[in-house]
Amino acid sequence: MKKNYMKCLMAGILASTFLTSTSVFAAGNSTKNVTSKATISSKNKINRPMKTSNLSSSSYVEWQQYGDDFASGHCVQPTDDGGYLVGGYNGKYAMYLLKTDSNGNKLWDKSIKPVSADSRDGVIQDIKKTSDGNYLIMGDKSYLSKIDKDGNILWSKTISNVDDLSQIEPTRDGGCAIVGSIQIPNHRSDISLSKIDANGNIIFNTSYGTSNDDCGASIKQTVDGGYIILGTSFMQKGIEASIIKTDRNGHELWNNMYYSGNSSYANSLQITSDDSYIFAGGNRLNKIDNSGNLIWQKQLGDDQVMSLELTPNDGCMLTCCNFSIDNPTIDIIQTDSYGNKTWHYTASDYNAWDTALDIRKTNDSGYIVCGQTYQTQINKKNIVLIKLK
């Protein structure tokens, strides 16, 4: 079965032998204590030169933090206290949860190992805040839990009848919807949709697909209570982004395909203020209306979009990776509401493989970027956090 989308593809590329995890998270080249139980070491700390596309680019960057703990960052969620929850995996091959303050300094961390004997989860794939002030934690295979602000698990569940989980969307009824992939006969995969109630119980599971491999990537609840789902379809003529509109019960209303490049996964979708949809597929940024008609499509050169957020004027903030070079870089791109580039920032460690996998709006109207750097020479991965003004 094909991997569920580019984040999972990157996890597979970057997954190699870890060393024993330590509990440190450092800033820049400084050395400081961040908790009473852990001391920052300057050993193997990253000192990375920054490239920018124009002289004012770096003025948008408030701070950058690089971990020194052999952990990988996959998702980030701003918290009510101005800090951040970061999800990923660590050297113990367990799901990893990190809490930082508003400047990215570590407050606490923990490893999460599902109690289910058949669980295959190793990565926290997504974190979302709930309406009651708690947080949903989703693994990459079947794990779902709800935690409080201190990381205490309120409940945990195993989502059945799925093979890969990609993204979770809190719903207006207090539950959530999860998109992923499910393997079906003839060794194919379909896009899966699971509706979950407020206590983690499954309301329904359903799937969508073509005669080829299909995998889910992103989901949003629409104004009518239904869902808009982004996936990837591996068609004979090439890889295409698939957009599926459903009603509140998961019944398909329409399904359209959009070319996304021969080797590129679709991976991120947002709903704009005019009730249209912007989504990223490979190096293409697309806007469609709420009936699926293409409004515009823009190409982004060698940059493959990993995640996107909207700006106040329905432009985009994109986290991208440039895979056309030996050591891929983290690229952050801002566009206007027509998909035209207005700002570009590159963070690069010339001796590492860098990826930025998630971007979220922050409480102060900025953005937080989460990713990882993989130093191939010493087989070491670290979390990267970049705060944008």
CA 63 distance to own-chain centroid: 20
pLDDT of residue 111: 92
Q: How many domains does the chain have?
A: 1
Contact criterion met (CB below 8 Å) for 357 and 75 = yes
Residue 264, domain member (yes or no): yes
Q: Cα(7)–Cα(358) distance, rounded to whole angstroms?
A: 9
Contact between 257 and 233 under an 8 Å Cβ cutoff? The reply is yes
More confident residue, 1 or 329: 329
Q: What is the pLDDT of residue 351?
A: 59
Has residue 160 been placed in a domain?
yes
Burial (CB < 10 A; 0-12, 13-18, 19+), residue 184, is middle
- Model pLDDT for residues 16-63, shown as the tens digit of each residue: 323 223 333 443 333 222 222 222 222 233 333 333 333 345 678 999
Higher per-residue confidence, 55 vs 344: 344
104-107's contacts with Cβ under 8 Å and 24+ in sequence apart are: 104/25, 104/27, 104/63, 104/65, 104/385, 104/387, 105/25, 105/27, 105/32, 105/34, 105/65, 106/23, 106/24, 106/25, 106/34, 106/35, 106/38, 107/34, 107/35, 107/83
Nearest-Å Rg of the Cα atoms of the chain is: 19
> Mean pLDDT over residues 154-169, rounded?
94
Q: Is 253 part of a structural domain of the chain?
A: yes
- Choose between 373 and 108: higher pLDDT: 108
| Spatial separation of the C-alpha atoms in residues 5 and 125, rounded to whole Å | 11
Q: What is the mean pLDDT of residues 259-271?
A: 79
Predicted confidence band of residue 116 (pLDDT cuts 50, 70, 90): low
CATH number of residue 336's parent domain? 2.130.10.10
Domain span including residue 320: 6-30+62-388
Handedness of CA 282, 382, 387, 99 (dihedral sign): positive
Least confident of 172-176, 203-207, 223-227, 348-352: 348-352
Name the burial class of residue 331, with classes exposed (0-12), middle (13-18) and buried (19+) by CB atoms within 10 angstroms of its CB: buried
Per the CB < 8 A criterion, the answer to whether 282 and 306 are in contact is no
Q: What Cα–Cα distance (Å) separates residue 151 from each residue in 64, 76, 78, 136, 204?
A: 24, 14, 14, 11, 28
Predicted local confidence at residue 239, as pLDDT: 86
- Tell me, yes or no, whether 91 lies in a domain: yes
Alpha carbon distance 33, 194 (integer Å)? 42
Q: Is residue 47 part of a domain?
A: no
Q: What tokens does 196 get?
A: 């979950």
What confidence category does residue 285 fall into, taking pLDDT thresholds of 50, 70 and 90? very high
Residue 43 lies in a domain: no
Residue 188 has pLDDT above 60, yes or no: yes
* β 153-158/164-170 pair status: unpaired
| 144 three-state secondary structure | strand
Strand 341-347 to strand 50-52: parallel, antiparallel, or no bridges (unpaired)?
antiparallel
Range name among 28-42, 58-72, 124-138, 268-282 with the lowest pLDDT average: 28-42
Band (pLDDT 50/70/90 cuts) for residue 6 is very low
Q: Is the model's pLDDT at 103 over the cut of 70?
A: yes
| Nearest alpha-carbon partner for 357 in 327, 386, 388, 315 | 386
User: What span, in angstroms and rounded, lies between the C-alpha atoms of 322 and 1?
Assistant: 25
Q: Is residue 37 part of a domain?
A: no
The C-alpha atoms of residue 209 and residue 242 are separated, in whole angstroms, by: 9
Which residues are CB-contacts of 340 (< 8 A; sequence separation ≥ 6)? 298
Q: What is the pLDDT of residue 25?
A: 47
Q: Which of 36-45, 89-98, 319-328, 355-364 has the lowest mean pLDDT?
A: 36-45
Q: Has residue 41 been placed in a domain?
A: no
Instruction: Provide the whole-model pTM.
Output: 0.85
Q: Hey, which of 117-121, 133-137, 160-164, 330-334 has the most confident mean pLDDT?
A: 133-137
pLDDT of 382 reads 86
Interval 69-84: pLDDT, tens: 678 899 999 999 999 9
